[in-house]
Amino acid sequence: MNTIQIIFRFLLTAICLLGTVFEMNGQLFKKLGKAAERAAERTVERRVEQETSEKTDQALDSIFEPGAKGENERREPIPNGGSTGDAQIGGPDSGWGTNSGRDSETADTPDASSTGDPKSIAVYSKFDFVPGDNPIFTDDFTKDFIGDFPSKWNSNASGELVTIEGYPEKWLKILPGPNTTYIPDVTDLPEEFTLEFDVVATGLDNQTSSQSYLGLMVGDNNTFDKPKNCGMIEYPFCQYIGRGIIVENNFAGKRVMRNELKTDIRNIINEKHHISIAVNKQRFRFWINENKYVDVPRLLPENMKMQGIKFTLRDINTEKEAVFIGNIKIAEGGVDLRRKLLADGKISTNGILFDSGSANIQPQSMGIIRQIFQVLQQESTINLKIVGHTDADGDESTNLQLSKQRAEAVKNALVNVYNVPPDKLTTEGKGESEPVGDNQTNEGKSRNRRVEFIKL
């Protein structure tokens, strides 16, 4: 075979091999293309499914959690009838309707710096607690040192004042025990009084005992002996199940009532919360934040003078859990201000609380503002002047300006939460110029920080 034939056969064989390779590569490329196409389809399907799920969640959030912006901002439902969203202006209580159509987040809403956070105070728009207007004991521990036991308290156990990260105040850390008691220095309680304080609990989890309770007792002594006549509320810190609130009393040394009111407050007590108690002779009412949980008409004995208030704590694991109380206020009163305003044409109250040095209304003050609204709703011809007063701490001109801002903040709350027509209200600030209490004492300062409502 000559050289030309050999070269020809080699080229022919190479061409055949190349053809086979191209065919195999074509099949391979075709298979790879189909695999890539299927992968792309799966990716698209997953993306569509994800986006659909997100849109569905957003739609459900808009129904069940109004105002939620995303997963990190979703709020847990508040039990016992509490609202998960912001109460809307012009609700069922409104006597003037929703004349402007505005809600708590529109541009017409005043800035939070002058009225308090509108969303926070709107949640309290149906809050019916009215604090007493004559302070008989107040303690924010400002005159006591961190690490000490507070000077205006007594206890048969230990305890100390501490600071908590995220909260600027001083707090009394209380310890658990079967007979451990903490007693504020107040005796000879009036027939009608209110008690308020804040609580922070830390370290709570699914291992927190089902028997962990903070107790509040009103009794016929202020010693460490168990009163023969008393009423008591205990509320739970347990997290793995929803424990109820315990109501108990004793008359003449015998238990008359003990009941557990079924509720679920786990979400609430995990955050800083405000406790309000109103005693009106035998009647005993108890609120956590804006919700009323207990209203017993005859928890306390009839015609029996109550002499003291006691705090108790049980079954808290002190190695990881802690309970702190602060901002305690006991005041005589808590009566219906509506009748007094209509009868006397004027009321003065220090129950409308503001953040220190500002005009931000603390939301638990809305019970009084709600009663003022109800007067205006019932008596449509009444116009009111709102007058702000401060204590004497700080600069006189600053206090005058602050009192004006606080009066204006109360007006704005009536206008924006309850839709009271603004032309029915005027405001004035008098600063520290008209004290009614001693500015050298906490109780006197508390009396001086007040708001007047005057019928015009």
Give the whole-angstrom CA distance, residue 121 versus residue 360: 10
Q: At what angle do helices 366-378 and 337-344 cross, to 10 degrees?
A: 50
Tokens standing for residue 93: 């209580």
3-class DSSP state of 119: helix
Best CA proximity match to 134, nearest among 96, 190, 94, 174 = 190
Residue 399 parent element (H or E): helix 396-418
Closest CA to 222 of 334, 333, 330: 330
Distance CA 448, CA 456 (A): 23
pLDDT at 380: 87
Mean pLDDT, the chain, rounded, equals: 81
Whether the Cβ atoms of residue 155 and residue 173 lie closer than 8 Å to each other: no
Q: In a 10 Å sphere around its CB, with 0-12 CB exposed, 13-18 middle and 19+ buried, how is residue 399 labelled?
A: buried
| CB contact at 8 A, 218 and 198 | no
Secondary structure class of 291 (helix, strand, coil) = strand
In this structure, the strands spanning 384-388 and 425-429 are parallel
Query: 364: pLDDT confidence band, cut at 50, 70 and 90?
Result: confident
In 85-218, where does DSSP find H-type helix? 112-115, 118-123
pLDDT interval class at 112 (50, 70, 90): very low
Contact residues for 319 (Cβ-Cβ < 8 A; gap 6+): none
pLDDT value of residue 95: 46
Pairwise CA distance, residues 122 & 419, whole Å: 12
3-state secondary structure of 175: coil
Q: What is the pLDDT of residue 389?
A: 97
Number of H-type helices and E-type strands within the chain: 8, 19
Query: How far, in Å, CA of 456 to CA of 453, rounded?
Result: 10
> Does the pLDDT of residue 17 top 60, yes or no?
no
| Mean pLDDT of the region 70-79 | 36
- CB-side neighbour CA atoms (13 Å) of 430: 14
| Cβ atoms of 162 and 295 closer than 8 Å | no
pLDDT at 361 over 80: yes
Percent of the chain predicted with pLDDT > 70: 74
Q: What is the pLDDT of residues 176-203, one digit of tens each?
A: 998 999 999 999 999 999 999 999 999 9
Output 361 or 99, whichever has higher pLDDT.
361
Q: How do beta strands 159-164 and 245-251 pair?
A: unpaired
Confidence at residue 103, expressed as pLDDT on a 0 to 100 scale: 30
Phi, psi torsion values for 170, nearest 5 degrees: -90, 150
CA distance 391 to 37: 76
Q: Measure Cα distances from 220 to 107, 228, 246, 252, 276 in Å.
A: 53, 7, 20, 10, 21
Q: Is 338 helix (H, G, I), strand (E, B) or coil?
A: helix
Q: CA 438, CA 420: separation in Å to the nearest integer?
A: 35
pLDDT in tens, 336-350: 788 889 989 999 998
pLDDT of residue 118: 58
What is the spatial distance between Cα 214 and Cα 234, in angstroms, rounded to a whole number? 5
Under 8 Å between Cβ of 304 and 221: no
φ/ψ (deg, to 5) at 162: -140, 170
Considering only CA atoms, which of 334, 312, 287 is closest in space to residue 189?
A: 334
**Does the pLDDT of residue 63 top 80, yes or no?**
no
Instruction: Count the alpha carbons within 13 Å of 333 in the hemisphere toward its beta carbon.
Output: 22
* Residue pair 380/424 in contact by the 8 Å Cβ criterion: no
What is the helix (H) or strand (E) element at residue 404, kind and residue range?
helix 396-418
The arithmetic mean of pLDDT across residues 100-119, rounded, is 38
The pLDDT assigned to 250 comes to 96
